[in-house]
Chain A
Amino acid sequence: MKGKSLISINDYSKDEMLRILDIAEDFEKQPHQPILSDKVVSTLFFEPSTRTRLSFESAANQLGARVIGFSDANSSSTKKGESLKDTILTVACYSDLIVMRHPLAGSARWASEVSPVPIINAGDGANQHPTQCLLDLYSIRKTQGKLDKLNIAFVGDLKYGRTVHSLTIAMCNFDTTFHLISPDELKLPSYVKQHIKNKKLEYHQYRTIEEAIGKADILYMTRVQRERFADPIEYENVKNSYILTKNQLKGCKENLKVLHPLPRVNEISENVDNTPQAYYFQQAQNGVYVRQALLATILGA
């Protein structure tokens, strides 16, 4: 894994994923370790994502690395028409590793092919966001004490959510039972279901949270967006079915935790925030440890 780019979660084997989670655990115990004090990390955000950028920068800073970069394409030379290849080749002269987020799918893979330094993909369009997937796995393992034989319920937009697709495929390594809660328009795509079938695992589909919440160890919430619906009336009809409220948590399993990739809009009521089930802010915190583990591993510290 040393010196190797991380572009897609599919680049990592099950063992490699678990190794990163183990290393992240060490960083959770002791986050301030100046082991990268001789390194420079670039964060190139061709589209803004403040949360992800700050998480990477916090991770790099806590390891003692210096961070350079830009936070949106307006402040980069891309605006002047520079190709991605040229930007990457230039920035590679200034840094030991590049974290990049870009609106086009496949941009990170291309960057890793031309770059002399390793790339970490922090989101390439609708395609991949592997560090999100790893921090989700970390959060699941930490709250449940294991990854095997869990019941995971995904709620909301299962069709377009790359987070849901990647996490589903990753959890297929762990004997998971999937509960898929979505409107008919936003069901999980068949290519993702095929991964579940290939591993001979179970999945069940529902239209409401109530039908499945009692079975879940993890409830993974995502946002249902109006623009995903061809018919606006259909959106109005279903939108309230995918908002989690405190009342719905009555009768849930004791170990249930609610996850969300953030930012949330209204899909989790604020009255859930103070329940023992709410875990989405700690989940974001875990992202820092996982990114520390990746930076340290890839830079060989």
Chain B
Amino acid sequence: MSKKELNVSALQNGTVIDHIAQGQVERVLYILNLPNYDDQIYLGANLDSKKYGKKGIIKVSNKFFEPEEVNKIALVSPTASIIEIRDYDVIKKGNVQISDEIKGFVKCVNPNCITNHENVPTWFDVTDKKEIVLKCRYCEKNTAKANIEFI
């Protein structure tokens, strides 16, 4: 048994978010609203990964996420995978998916967009899933991956 598998198995119940892109662990924590979570969380950063060079990992005890929650991660870390553990067993394993539209949690990059001035929830179409480009339904401007800010 490799060290990685040991670490994963160490969680009795909960979710492992693995293969987080380097430098994105903190952002993923915020996207999943984990800074306020009061059960155990294990964090790892700059771990060696065969596939991606360096990676991050987050393990959250006694917490399971809805797909729309974890799919938000795809915007900053499309390589992330989600592993659900119950009684030390992996019961579900999958990759995060970028949705066709993104509603309400990403800020529009255009300072003159109505969504940045009035109480209007943002709404984007994902026009490029590979490079990650979000087109605002309101001002029609693109927000690129490097400019993505979460609300």
For chain B residues 105-128, which have a beta carbon within 8 Å of chain A?
Answer: 108, 110, 112-115, 117-120
For chain A residues 107-148, which have a beta carbon within 8 Å of chain B?
Answer: 107, 109-110, 124-128
Residues of A within 8 A of B110 (CB): 105-106
Residues of B within 8 A of A10 (CB): 140
**Is B138 an interface residue, CB under 8 A from the partner?**
yes
Q: Is the CB of B140 within 8 A of A106?
A: yes
**Is B28 an interface residue, CB under 8 A from the partner?**
no
**Is B139 an interface residue, CB under 8 A from the partner?**
yes
Q: Is the CB of A83 within 8 A of B118?
A: yes
**Is B137 an interface residue, CB under 8 A from the partner?**
yes
Query: Please, how many angstroms separate the alpha-carbon atoms of A106 and B116 in the complex?
Result: 10
Closest Cβ of chain B to A71, distance in Å, is: 21
Q: Is the CB of A104 within 8 A of B112?
A: yes
Taking A84-B114, A125-B112, A126-B112 as contacts, is the C-beta distance between A106 and B119 under 8 angstroms?
no
Q: Is the CB of A105 within 8 A of B118?
A: no
Query: Please, how many angstroms separate the alpha-carbon atoms of A103 and B141 in the complex?
Result: 15
Counting chain B CB atoms within 10 Å of each CB, the highest count among A83, A105, A125, A126 belongs to A105
**Is A8 an interface residue, CB under 8 A from the partner?**
yes
Query: Please, how many angstroms separate the alpha-carbon atoms of A106 and B135 in the complex?
Result: 12
Query: Please, how many angstroms separate the alpha-carbon atoms of A172 and B142 in the complex?
Result: 21
Counting chain A CB atoms within 10 Å of each CB, the highest count among B114, B115, B117, B136 belongs to B114
Residues of A within 8 A of B112 (CB): 103-105, 125-126
Residues of B within 8 A of A107 (CB): 114, 138
Query: Please, how many angstroms separate the alpha-carbon atoms of A117 and B103 in the complex?
Result: 25
The one of B119, B140, B142 in contact with A105, judged by C-beta atoms closer than 8 angstroms, is B140
**Is A85 an interface residue, CB under 8 A from the partner?**
yes
Q: Is the CB of A110 within 8 A of B118?
A: yes
Mark each residue of chain A from 58 to 93: 1 if its CB lies under 8 Å from any CB of chain B, else 0. Answer: 000000000000000000000000011100000000
Residues of A within 8 A of B114 (CB): 84, 102, 104-107, 109-110, 124
Query: Please, how many angstroms separate the alpha-carbon atoms of A191 and B141 in the complex?
Result: 10
Residues of B within 8 A of A85 (CB): 118-119
Query: Please, how many angstroms separate the alpha-carbon atoms of A106 and B114 in the complex?
Result: 5
Query: Please, how many angstroms separate the alpha-carbon atoms of A289 and B110 in the complex?
Result: 34
Taking A105-B112, A125-B112 as contacts, is the C-beta distance between A8 and B117 under 8 angstroms?
no
Instruction: Tell me the A residues contacting B by CB distance below 8 Å.
Output: 8, 10, 83-85, 102-107, 109-110, 124-128, 191
A–B complex contacts, Cβ < 8 Å, 19 sampled: A8-B140, A85-B119, A102-B114, A103-B112, A104-B118, A105-B139, A105-B141, A106-B108, A106-B113, A106-B140, A109-B114, A109-B137, A109-B138, A110-B114, A110-B115, A110-B138, A124-B114, A124-B139, A126-B112
User: What are the 8 A-B residue pairs with the smallest beta carbon separation, nearest first?
Assistant: A106-B138, A105-B139, A106-B139, A106-B114, A107-B114, A104-B114, A109-B138, A106-B113
